[in-house]
Amino acid sequence: MVELDRCEINCIHDEAVKAVRQALFGEDVAVSLAELFKALGDPTRVKILFSLMTRELCVCDLTAVIGISESAVSHQLRVLRTLRLVKFRREGKILYYSLADDHIEKLFAQGLDHVTEDKAEKNEE
């Protein structure tokens, strides 16, 4: 029986392997990238990031938008802040959160395009 996700023979393409090994990033970058995608693996954090992609919001606003407790939002914001995905500014007693930079918005937007495109294609079938 042929497995669809494996080669039928063992054949190493030395040139290809060498080229990719030279381009491959270090373990520290791999860990950081995995942590980034792990952060995006939580639906609450995804909702927070989308909300902040739309506009700057305070914790109370995020609580109202997402419909979870303020402490739960604060916890998730702490995770996102640690990973440098969001930043905040203080205005008096209020903390306003926004995305850390445009890379986050681009990454999120591309991921959103990918999953919504996938759903649109399934609906056409």
Q: Determine, yes or no, domain membership for 3.
A: no
pTM recorded for the entire structure = 0.80
Q: What is the CATH number of the domain that holds 89?
A: 1.10.10.10
Domain carrying residue 94? 30-124
> For the chain, how many structural domains are there in total?
1
Which sign, positive or negative, has the C-alpha torsion 120, 105, 46, 66? negative
CB burial of residue 41 (10 Å; 0-12, 13-18, 19+): exposed
43-54 helix and 70-82 helix, angle to the nearest 10 degrees? 80
Distances (CA, A) of 63 to 16, 66, 80: 49, 5, 16
Q: Determine, yes or no, domain membership for 56.
A: yes
Looking at residue 1, its pLDDT comes to 59
Q: Which of 25, 27, 35, 26 is nearest to 85 (CA)?
A: 35
Looking at residue 108, its pLDDT comes to 87
Q: Determine, yes or no, domain membership for 67.
A: yes
- Segments of the chain with pLDDT less than 50: none
Looking at residue 6, its pLDDT comes to 79
